[in-house]
Amino acid sequence: MNILSAWLRSYLPQFDASDRELADDLTLRGIAVEGVFDAAAPIGGSLFETDITTNRVDAMNHYGVAREAAAIYGLTLAPLDTTLPAAHPGAGHPVRIEAPEACGRFTARILRNVKIGPSCGIVAERFAALGQKLILNAVDASNYVLFGMGHPTHAFDLDKIEGAIVVRRARPGERLKTLDGIDRVLDADDVVVADEKKALGLAGVMGGWDTMITPETKNILIEAAWFDPAVVRRMSRRHGIHSDASHRFERGADFHAPPVASALVSQLILKSRGHIEGELVDVVIPQVLARVAARRSIAFSVARCAELLGRTSDGPGITDEVSTGILHSLGCTLAPSAEGRYSVTLPSWRLDLEREIDLIEEVARVYGYNRFANTLPTFSGTVLELPNAPKQTAVRELLLSAGYHEAISSTFCSATDAATFAPQPGVAVAMDNPLSEEAGMLRPSLVPGMLTMLAYNLNRNVDDVRLFEMGTVFTGSPERVDEAQWLAFGATGRLRDGLNSSRALNFFDLKGVVEALTARFAARSVYFDAFPVASGLLPHWLNPARAARCVVDGSTVAYFGELHPDENASRKLRQPVLVGEIYLDRLFRHSLRQPSTRDLSRYQPVRRDFSLVFPDTVHWEAVGSALSGLAIAELQEYRPAEIFRDPKGKTVPAGHYSVLVSTTFQSPDRTLRDEELHAWSNSIVSTLESLGGRLRTQ
Amino acid sequence: MSDDSIPQLRGYDDASLDRAFASLTADLERGAGSLNGADAVEQFRLEWLGRKHGRLKTVSEAWLKTAPPEARRPLGQRFNGLKERIEALLTDAAAGKHRAATGAAIDVTLPGTRPQLGAEHPIVRTWHEAVRIFAAMGYSVGTGPEVETDYYNFESLNFPPNHPARDTQDTLVVVGQERKPLRDRLLMRTHTSPVQIRTMEQQPPPIRLVIPGKVHRNDAADATHSPIFHQVEGLCVDEGITFGDLKGTLDHAMKAFFGSSVKTRFFPSFFPFTEPSADVQISCIFCGGKGCRKCKHSGWIELLGCGMVDPAIFGFVRQKQPAYDPEKISGFAFGMGLDRIAMMKYGISDIGLLFSGDVRFLEQFA
């Protein structure tokens, strides 16, 4: 809210520091002055733009801020002048509180023969400097008092009130046109200020249209009341009205303020013309008074305060005198109970103060946070990493070294994407108030986010992209949402390894990453397989011709491969992309592999290559298994060194491929003899022939 | 006698001698540049040291022999210097220090073939940095779920139902929660603070914990705000922890993050779960505190929120861990935005870049 330094100074006659100094000191004590501007003449001084935290409703007005300044500088705060001219005889307006849980206090004062017109004088000048719109003097008076001392009041056109004021629950379906011109339908949770016939206003939130002050108004009833914070908050939220009044009531107003506010408003209105009729009618609910204003005093120990705050780096430190002086300046009454101990009676305007710790905060705040010494606590104990941290590091390092940039995408996805990419149908969880339609679901997979990021790059002419994301996926139901750590990786474009050398990324680039990754973990078996389209086992976002799953010790840890061309087309991706998802939660069930070494042989290895032609139905998996099945201890390594298919079917028949199988033999303790190599070669050839292979003649 | 293999000597004064020998030395060094292979070395040796037609022989014949007595010494010194240089070049050549170049020469100024390394995401990088800084001060790492219950995200952190403090954290809510009791309703956590409660419920004090994680709020996105962002939370609970300890710890951490010249200042704030509560500003890392556009000419940048753990929090935790007795222990907590720190450290102007996967942006961190 905006604060005028000149208005503050009117409450602090002894104050002589500069506005700039005041702004800094207020900021460092919790009244954050975020901007200092010159205030318009004739008010002069400065306009402070302040940001006051929600707990400090007492400081959301000039008098409250002046009270803070008085505490900071040890000044005396001028009391508010509430003197009123003598009242003409009268009974006052009758008031009944029928909803005591919602309204703890209601005061009504009658002003007669008033003159309604534009405000002038100090009200007009200060409103101009604050940038506040003027309405009519009686309405402006109410607002002026709100800005001045913080308590909301309301002025009714008395002649439109029929009978006694009744504060009651609204009747379900009851209607009220509020000051903003909106016709509202009320329910029993609403509390209204009413007369005998109708609702006049929403209690503590907004007045009613029909009883508002107009230039024709002759007689006024001034309401100054105290409403329950929770009740006001509920109404304010239900009706979507955030008014100055509701803002203050829902944060806890000062129970003792209504008569003061009523007097101040009356003074201002009477300046033009008019008189008071009868004494102030002041209805107080004793139980609320006891609960809110006459709160129990709390115990305060100077030693406890000093112990929690620690050493100070300047000033006298947290002594008895300093701490009690600060609390006193804030409006507390302190009665000593023992050496260094006090029983503290709390000011009625500080409903945020409830416990000793709140008082300790006040002491620290007013003393100045930056006057406490910076210390470091002693420490004994151990520092623990998260159990999966080394595994995450291993995975991250591997992907980074493979040239994949780490990315972070949205936690949410569209309902369509959730349906396409969820691991099982129906497990994705929707949001009640999504950020947008495209973010309606908690992501059940990282793949849609990955595809969005790949598309983002392709749409910006970045054609060579490799990305990965480690993040949380969500599945379950509104009853229970399960989280898992997964990893998605995506690649598109070409791999460049020199000036004139590049090639398109392919399935085997992804598979190599998965192989290297699984190799970092201790597992008995790792295998890859593909599925026929009809099996339905492979996620349908992958192209079944060029995709695989990876199984580690019987559990599926990854699906990866070429994105299905249909999916590619629906996303308008202008080149093929490769994508995969790794279930880190499953992979991390395995410990990281501990490297173990074997002695290196001193004897010469021998290489033998075999060129064979196989039907396409024979996969490398079968070839490899057959070779391992030979159980030749000296067969150290075998790998496909070259694969060739002839589209014309000349050198290699259609439906067949030729493969150059490269093998290496080595013994740890002797040089291999020709005869044994010959024997092994023969058994390799015959085994592979039995698979359907045919040795190629050179 | 004259020979065009050596320069002309115009006189025996120092200037003439210097000029003549400089010319010879230049020839020598030029020739030394092509000492590739045995043939070239032999040719070089003959050219300079050949007994009949070597240049030194010629110099000796043409200049030394005819020199007047007073010029012999300066001339001799220069002659011997030249001879030593020739012999040194030949010794180097013999030792194989001048191998022949083979193959076509390459343009070494062309760019190298760099390994294509991936880049760690700037948020992850900052996350790790925070963990490392606090680990050095004895902090272990904790995490918790991103979908939280109202109890852990709000109630146990002293945000009572219907309290205005809840308004400051607009919350994304999971569908279908209306039928549940408020405390069990599921929402996207709005801060990493729930992990404080979860951890204290699991283990008695002392605790030193740093909690990095992803959080969500129902906020409109702009250049500096994203509904998805990351925080790192800290919690320290033990006997005798003071407000000064909180200040000292964060002052140290900010110096570790931004350099030892960074200053911190604390001022009052409000968080329902800390009391006293503070906001922390650091001296502007761009202008050093003089005031610039980045710090809105204040010299300070607001960076994190913190405070002493409110005894009410211990009250909630004590239901499961009686050791959290506010009469015996105290603690502090703090939280900061990793995205914001990353943006400051790396000069990122648009928070959206962090979540775009834009390779042109990410590769700058490789």
Helices A302-309 and A356-367, axial angle in degrees (round to 10): 60
Q: Do A362 and A483 sit in the same domain of this protein?
A: no
Q: According to the model, what pLDDT value does residue B97 have? A: 66
**Which comes out higher in pLDDT, residue B102 or A39?**
A39
pLDDT tens-digit readout, B32-81: 877 777 788 888 888 888 888 888 888 888 888 888 888 888 888 888 98
The CATH number of the domain holding residue A208 is 3.50.40.10
Rounded Cα distance between A305 and A300, Å, is 8
The DSSP string of B7-25 is PPP--SSHHHHHHHHHHHH
Q: Do A36 and A6 sit in the same domain of this protein?
A: yes
B214 DSSP assignment = E
> CA A235 → CA A188, A251, A599, A615, distances in Å?
11, 14, 80, 78
Which pLDDT band, with edges at 50, 70 and 90, does B1 fall under?
very low
Q: Do A491 and A623 sit in the same domain of this protein?
A: no
Rounded Cα distance between A249 and A226, Å, is 7
- Among chain B residues, the shortest Cα distance to A490 is held by B357
Chain A environment of B266 (Cβ under 8 Å):
369-370
Q: According to the model, what pLDDT value does residue B10 have? A: 85
- Contacts with A, B 200-259, CB within 8 Å: 206, 208, 214, 216, 218, 227-228, 236, 238, 240-245, 247-249, 251-252
Q: Are B147 and A432 in contact (CB < 8 Å)?
A: no
Return the percentage of chain A with pLDDT > 90, whole number: 90
| Residues with Cβ within 8 Å of residue B91, at least 6 apart in sequence | none
Among A364, A405, A478, beta carbon nearest to B359: A405
Q: Are B175 and A429 in contact (CB < 8 Å)?
A: yes
Asked if residue A79 belongs to a domain, the reply is no
Asked whether A16 and A69 are in contact (CB, 8 A), the reply is no
**3 state DSSP class of A475:** strand
Chain A environment of B277 (Cβ under 8 Å):
361
Q: Are A54 and B164 in contact (CB < 8 Å)?
A: yes
Chain A environment of B241 (Cβ under 8 Å):
377
Q: Are A457 and B143 in contact (CB < 8 Å)?
A: no
User: ipTM of this predicted complex?
Assistant: 0.87
- Contacts with B, A 461-520, CB within 8 Å: 462, 464-469, 471-472, 474, 477-478, 481, 483, 495-499
Q: Are B172 and A433 in contact (CB < 8 Å)?
A: yes
Q: Do A18 and A110 sit in the same domain of this protein?
A: no
Rounded to a whole number, what is the distance in Å from the CA of A453 to chain B's nearest CA? 5
pLDDT tens-digit readout, A175-192: 999 999 999 999 999 999
pLDDT tens-digit readout, A271-290: 999 999 999 999 999 999 98
Rounded to a whole number, what is the distance in Å from the CA of A6 to chain B's nearest CA? 24
Asked if A303 reaches chain B (Cβ–Cβ under 8 Å), the answer is: no
| Residues with Cβ within 8 Å of residue B132, at least 6 apart in sequence | none
- Contacts with A, B 282-311, CB within 8 Å: 308, 310-311
Asked whether A186 and A175 are in contact (CB, 8 A), the reply is yes
pLDDT tens-digit readout, A520-542: 999 999 999 987 777 777 888 99
Considering all CA atoms of chain A, what is the largest pairwise distance in Å, rounded to the nearest integer?
133
Chain A environment of B175 (Cβ under 8 Å):
429-432, 478
On the question of pLDDT at A15 being above 50, the answer is yes
Chain A environment of B139 (Cβ under 8 Å):
383
pLDDT tens-digit readout, A327-366: 999 999 999 999 999 999 999 999 889 999 999 999 999 9
Asked if A388 reaches chain B (Cβ–Cβ under 8 Å), the answer is: no
Chain B environment of A306 (Cβ under 8 Å):
none
Asked if residue A592 belongs to a domain, the reply is no
Rounded Cα distance between B238 and B253, Å, is 19
pLDDT tens-digit readout, A561-599: 999 999 999 999 999 999 999 999 999 999 999 999 988
**Which residue type occupies B126?**
T
Which pLDDT band, with edges at 50, 70 and 90, does B3 fall under?
low
For residue B255 the two structure tokens come to 């110096």
- Among chain A residues, the shortest Cα distance to B117 is held by A403
Asked if residue A377 belongs to a domain, the reply is no
Phi/psi-derived region of residue A509, left when phi > 0, alpha when psi is between -120 and 50, beta in every other case: alpha
Q: Are A406 and B119 in contact (CB < 8 Å)?
A: yes
On the question of pLDDT at B144 being above 80, the answer is yes
Q: Are A410 and B249 in contact (CB < 8 Å)?
A: no
Asked if residue A340 belongs to a domain, the reply is yes
Q: Residue A296: how many CA atoms within 13 Å on its side-chain side? A: 6
A-interface mutation test, from B106, B108, B116, most A Cβ less than 10 A away: B116
Domain residue spans in chain B? 14-94, 122-365
Asked if B355 reaches chain A (Cβ–Cβ under 8 Å), the answer is: yes
Q: According to the model, what pLDDT value does residue A378 have? A: 87
Asked if A418 reaches chain B (Cβ–Cβ under 8 Å), the answer is: no
Rounded Cα distance between A503 and A506, Å, is 9
| Residues with Cβ within 8 Å of residue B128, at least 6 apart in sequence | B120
pLDDT tens-digit readout, A458-494: 999 999 999 999 999 999 999 999 999 999 999 999 9
The CATH number of the domain holding residue A462 is 3.30.930.10
Q: Are B359 and A307 in contact (CB < 8 Å)?
A: no
Asked if B176 reaches chain A (Cβ–Cβ under 8 Å), the answer is: yes
For residue B148 the two structure tokens come to 């939280």
- Among chain A residues, the shortest Cα distance to B207 is held by A381
Beta strands in A228-340 (DSSP E): 275-284, 298-301, 333-338
Listed in sequence order, the DSSP H helices in A167-256 are 229-239, 244-249
Rounded Cα distance between A461 and A589, Å, is 40
Helices B37-49 and B14-32, axial angle in degrees (round to 10): 160
Q: Are A496 and B117 in contact (CB < 8 Å)?
A: no
Among B110, B139, B143, beta carbon nearest to A386: B143
- Contacts with A, B 23-52, CB within 8 Å: none
For B321-357, give one letter per residue: b (16+ CB within 10 A) or e: beebebeebbbbbbbbbbbbbbbbeeebeebbbbbbb
Q: What mean pLDDT is predicted for residues B120-149?
A: 95
pLDDT tens-digit readout, B189-240: 999 999 999 999 999 999 999 999 999 999 889 988 999 999 999 999 999 9
pLDDT tens-digit readout, B72-113: 888 888 889 888 988 888 888 777 766 667 788 888 898 888
Q: Do A423 and A514 sit in the same domain of this protein?
A: yes
User: Which residue, chain included where needed, has tokens 């592979």?
Assistant: A688
Q: Do A455 and A343 sit in the same domain of this protein?
A: no
Q: CA torsion angle for A489, A492, A496, A499 (degrees, to 10)?
A: -150
- Among chain B residues, the shortest Cα distance to A475 is held by B147
Among B214, B268, B311, beta carbon nearest to A411: B214
Chain B environment of A472 (Cβ under 8 Å):
146, 214
Phi/psi-derived region of residue A310, left when phi > 0, alpha when psi is between -120 and 50, beta in every other case: left
Asked if A598 reaches chain B (Cβ–Cβ under 8 Å), the answer is: no
Chain B environment of A496 (Cβ under 8 Å):
116
**Which residue type occupies B298?**
S
Rounded to a whole number, what is the distance in Å from the CA of A326 to chain B's nearest CA? 15
Asked if residue A384 belongs to a domain, the reply is no
Neighbouring-strand partners of residue A557:
none
Q: Are A404 and B118 in contact (CB < 8 Å)?
A: yes
- Contacts with A, B 253-272, CB within 8 Å: 265-270
**3 state DSSP class of A348:** coil
Chain A environment of B247 (Cβ under 8 Å):
369, 372-375
**In residues, how long is chain B?**
366
Q: Are B238 and A385 in contact (CB < 8 Å)?
A: no
| Residues with Cβ within 8 Å of residue A360, at least 6 apart in sequence | A304, A305, A308, A309, B275, B276
Rounded to a whole number, what is the distance in Å from the CA of B102 to chain A's nearest CA? 22
Asked if B112 reaches chain A (Cβ–Cβ under 8 Å), the answer is: no
Pairing of strands A494-496, A412-413: unpaired
Q: Are A406 and B121 in contact (CB < 8 Å)?
A: yes
For residue A569 the two structure tokens come to 């087309």
Considering A371, A399, A421, which residue would you say is the last residue of a domain? Answer: A371
Q: Do A362 and A417 sit in the same domain of this protein?
A: no
Asked if residue A595 belongs to a domain, the reply is no
Q: What mean pLDDT is predicted for residues A93-114?
A: 96
The CATH number of the domain holding residue A326 is 3.30.56.10
pLDDT tens-digit readout, A189-202: 999 999 999 999 99
Q: Do A287 and A303 sit in the same domain of this protein?
A: no
Q: Do A127 and A273 sit in the same domain of this protein?
A: yes
> CA A446 → CA A32, A453, A475, A476, A549, distances in Å?
42, 11, 12, 16, 16
Chain B environment of A473 (Cβ under 8 Å):
none
Neighbouring-strand partners of residue A592:
A521
CATH of B122-365, one of 3.30.930.10, 3.40.50.2020, 3.40.640.10, 3.30.300.30: 3.30.930.10
Q: CA torsion angle for A285, A290, A292, A297 (degrees, to 10)?
A: 170
What residues make up the domain containing A30? 2-73
pLDDT tens-digit readout, B230-286: 999 999 999 999 999 999 999 999 999 999 999 999 999 999 999 999 999 999 999
Q: Do A211 and A287 sit in the same domain of this protein?
A: yes
Asked if B315 reaches chain A (Cβ–Cβ under 8 Å), the answer is: no
When mean pLDDT is compared across A245-249, A673-677, B57-61, B165-169, the lowest value belongs to: B165-169
Q: Are B147 and A483 in contact (CB < 8 Å)?
A: yes
Return the percentage of chain B with pLDDT > 70, whole number: 97
Q: Are A369 and B188 in contact (CB < 8 Å)?
A: no
Asked if residue A380 belongs to a domain, the reply is no
Q: According to the model, what pLDDT value does residue A194 have? A: 96
Taking one residue from A and the other from B, the number of pairs with CB-CB distance under 8 angstroms is 240
Rounded Cα distance between A448 and A454, Å, is 10
Q: Do A572 and A667 sit in the same domain of this protein?
A: no
Number of domains in chain A: 5
Asked if B121 reaches chain A (Cβ–Cβ under 8 Å), the answer is: yes
